[in-house]
Structure 1
Amino acid sequence: MTYCVGMVTDKGLVLMSDTRTNSGVDNVSVFRKMFRWEVPGERIVALMTAGNLATTQAVVSQLEERTKVPDERHNSVLEAPTMFQVASEIGRLLRATIAERQNANGQRGQGRFTASIIVAGQIRGMEPRLFMIYPEGNFIEAGLDTPFFQIGETKYGRPIILRGYDRQMSMEDAVKLLMVSFDSTLKANLSVGLPLDLLVIARDGFAATHERRIGHEDPYFQAISSSWGDALRNAFHSLPDYSFYHERSDSVAQGSEAEH
C-alpha cells in the first residue's frame, strides 16, 4: 500500500509520500514514489504514484523517454506549455500502460495493474496547480473547495488534514500538518512505512524550495510523533467527563415528569 498527499496553499505546494511497497507481510521493499523535473526559473513538475509498482515505473520511464538512445531522449513534462497539458499527457500514458498490461494478461489480469497519480507544479506566468489522475486517465484539479489530494491509504490521515488545514498557513506549518497526518497513518497501517519523501515548492520559485528524506531516526519526526500522542491524551482528558450515574438520574427524572 501507499500514502501520498499533495497540498496547495497560497504560498505554494507541499508534497509528501511514503516509500513502502509490499506483496504480503514477508516481502517488503523501499521504492521512491515521488519524482520531479525542473527547468530552473521556468518550471517545476512533480508527481507521486500509488498502485502497481511496475505500472507506475513504466509511466515514469515513458515520461522520460528512457527507451530512446541518449541523443534522442526528451522529457515530455518539460515541453508541455501548461500544467493542464502535463496532466493530460500523464493521464494518457497511465491509461495506455494499464490497458496494455491488462490486454497482455487477458481477462484475469484486469484490475491487477491499477494505479493513480498526483501531479503538481508551476510553469512561469501561470499559477501553481495540483491534479489527481485516476487509472482511467481522467483527472481532477484542486481548488478552493478541495485544496489537497490523497492517494493510497487515505482514511487514517485525512481527518487530521481536514481539521488543521488553512489555505493561508505557512509552508512550515503545512509540512508539520502533513507529518502529523503521516504519523497517524503509520500508527494505524503497517502497509505504509518510513522513510518518507518531502518536497516543498514555493510559489514562483520554479525549483525545489525544500526537499528531504525522513527516516526512522529523524529527530523532528520523532518529536512530532511523541508530541502529537501527548497532545491527544491531554485533549482527551480535558473533555467533559461522562457519568453513568448522571445518565441514570436524568432517565429517572424524565420518567417522573412523564408520569405527571
Structure 2
Amino acid sequence: MTYCVGLKLDRGLVFAADTRTNAGLDNISTFKKLHVWEKSGDRVITLLSAGNLAVTQAVISLLSEHIHNAGEGRPTLMTVETMFQAARLVGSAVREVREIDGEALATSADNFFVTFILGGQIKGEDPRLFQIYSAGNFIEVCEDTPFVQIGEHKYGKPILDRVTRHDMRLGEAAKMVLLSFDSTLRSNLSVGMPIDLMLYNTDSFTSERQFRIEKDDPYFQKLSEGWSDALRDAFANMDELEL
C-alpha cells in the first residue's frame, strides 16, 4: 500500500508520496512514487502512483519511452498542448499495459489495481490536477475539493478536510500535508518513510523545489511532536460529557 496527496492552490501545486512498497515482518522495501517530467520554461508534469508496483512501473516506463522515441509521431508528455491531453495520454498508457499484462494478472493472486495523481502546468494554461483510475479514465480537481488522495488515504484525510484553503501558502500547505502523513504513519504500517515532497509555484515551470523527508528529519520530528502535544492540550481543555 502507499499514500499520495496532490493539492491545487491559488499559488500552485503541492505533491507528496511515501516510498514503502512492502511491509512484511522481515522484508521492508522502498520505491520512489513521485515522478517528474520537465521542459524548462514550458512545462512541469508530475505523476504520483499507487497500486500494483509492476503495473505502475510499466506505465511510467512506457510514458518515458514515448518521449525518447518522439520521432515516431505519437503524442508524448513533452508535446501535448494541455494537461487534459496529458491525462488522456496517461490513461492510454494504463490501457496499453492492461492489454499486455491484464489477462496474466487476472489469473494470479495479483491484480491490475492502480491509481495515479497527475498534476502540473503547461505554458498557456493554469496548473491543473487529475486523478486517474485503473480503467484509464480520470477526473479533474474542482473548486469544491482542491485535493486528491490515493492509496491509504483515510487516516490523513480529516486534517485536509478541516484545514485546506485555496489561498494557503505552499509552505503552509506542505506543513498540513506532512501532518496528514504523520497521522497515516501512526495508524498504518504499510505506509512508510521517507516522504517525497514537491512544491510547484504557478508559472515557475521548474521542479527545483523537491525534497525527501527522512525518518530522522528534525523538522518532521518537531512537527509530529508538536501536533501530538497540541491535540492532547485541545482534548484536555474541552468540557467532559456530563451524565
TM-score w.r.t. the length of structure 2 is 0.94
The residue aligned with 1:81 is: 81
The residue aligned with 2:196 is: 197
Q: Does the 8 Å CA contact 2:50/2:114 hold for their aligned counterparts? A: yes
The residue aligned with 1:145 is: 144
Q: Which amino acid aligns with 1:19?
A: T
Distance 1:163 1:67 in 2: 40
Query: What is the DSSP-based 3-state SS (H/G/I as helix, E as strand, rest coil) of the residue aligned with 1:190?
Result: coil
Distance 1:68 1:172 in 2: 34
CA gap 1:114/1:218 in 2 versus in 1, 3 angstroms:
same
The residue aligned with 2:25 is: 25
Distance 1:238 1:181 in 2: 23
Q: Report the CA distance between 1:68 and its aligned residue.
A: 6.9
The superposition leaves residues 19-40 of structure 1 with CA deviations (integer Å, 9 ceiling, x where unpaired) of 0001643332110000001111
Q: Report the CA distance between 1:131 and its aligned residue.
A: 0.3
Q: Does the 8 Å CA contact 1:103/1:109 hold for their aligned counterparts? A: no
Q: Does the 8 Å CA contact 2:67/2:76 hold for their aligned counterparts? A: no
Runs of 4+ in 1 over 6 A off after TM superposition: 66-72
Distance 2:107 2:145 in 1: 36
Structure with bigger helix share is 1
CA gap 1:85/1:68 in 2 versus in 1, 3 angstroms:
closer
The residue aligned with 1:223 is: 222
Query: What is the DSSP-based 3-state SS (H/G/I as helix, E as strand, rest coil) of the residue aligned with 2:223?
Result: helix
CA gap 1:214/1:45 in 2 versus in 1, 3 angstroms:
same
Q: Which amino acid aligns with 2:42?
A: E
Distance 1:52 1:142 in 2: 24
The residue aligned with 1:7 is: 7
Q: Report the CA distance between 1:113 and its aligned residue.
A: 2.3
Alignment of 1:95-244 (within 5 A): 95-105=95-105, 107-109=106-108, 112-243=111-242
Q: Which amino acid aligns with 1:81?
A: E
Query: What is the DSSP-based 3-state SS (H/G/I as helix, E as strand, rest coil) of the residue aligned with 2:210?
Result: strand
Distance 1:164 1:229 in 2: 17
Q: Which amino acid aligns with 1:84?
A: F
Q: Does the 8 Å CA contact 1:98/1:114 hold for their aligned counterparts? A: no
Distance 1:78 1:222 in 2: 38
The superposition leaves residues 105-157 of structure 1 with CA deviations (integer Å, 9 ceiling, x where unpaired) of 4x424861211110000011101000000000000000101211000000000
The residue aligned with 2:63 is: 63
Which structure would you say has the larger Rg? 1
Distance 2:184 2:99 in 1: 31
Distance 2:9 2:208 in 1: 14
Unaligned runs of 5+ in 2: none
Q: Does the 8 Å CA contact 1:22/1:191 hold for their aligned counterparts? A: yes
Q: Percent identity?
A: 46
CA gap 1:136/1:111 in 2 versus in 1, 3 angstroms:
farther
Q: Which amino acid aligns with 1:119?
A: L
Q: Which amino acid aligns with 2:133?
A: Y
Q: Which amino acid aligns with 1:151?
A: I
| Aligned CA-pair RMSD | 2.2
User: Is 1:16–2:16 an aligned residue pair?
Assistant: yes
Q: Does the 8 Å CA contact 2:70/2:76 hold for their aligned counterparts? A: no
The residue aligned with 1:35 is: 35
Distance 2:134 2:50 in 1: 10
Query: What is the DSSP-based 3-state SS (H/G/I as helix, E as strand, rest coil) of the residue aligned with 2:165?
Result: coil
Q: Does the 8 Å CA contact 1:102/1:109 hold for their aligned counterparts? A: no
Distance 2:99 2:151 in 1: 21
Report how many aligned residue pairs link the two structures. 243
